[in-house]
Amino acid sequence: MTVVRVDDDRRLALCADETGARHTVETALVEPVSAGDRILVHAGTAIAALAPDQSDERTATA
């Protein structure tokens, strides 16, 4: 999903999935996030953030 807007106080983000549908997502596990970031969401919680230029070869430390 793509982050649309972040509510830092509540640690939630409004996100859009690939169809454009909006979802409220917990961001506590991948903070900090900002509008435009791509995140992997499972059951309403972001469990990983994807860097824009991330590739398979990169040893993921993010």
Q: According to CB under 8 A, which residues from 20 to 39 bind another protein?
A: 23-24, 26, 28-30, 38
Binding to another protein by residue 19, rule CB under 8 A?
A: no
Which stretches does DSSP call E strand in the chain?
A: 2-7, 12-16, 22-26, 38-42, 45-50
Q: Give the nearest distance from C-beta 34 to another protein in angstroms.
A: 17
Among the listed residues 20, 22, 59, the one whose alpha carbon sits nearest the alpha carbon of residue 44: 22
- Residues at the site binding another protein, with contacts judged by CB under 8 A: 18, 23-24, 26, 28-30, 38, 40, 42-45, 47-48, 50, 54-62
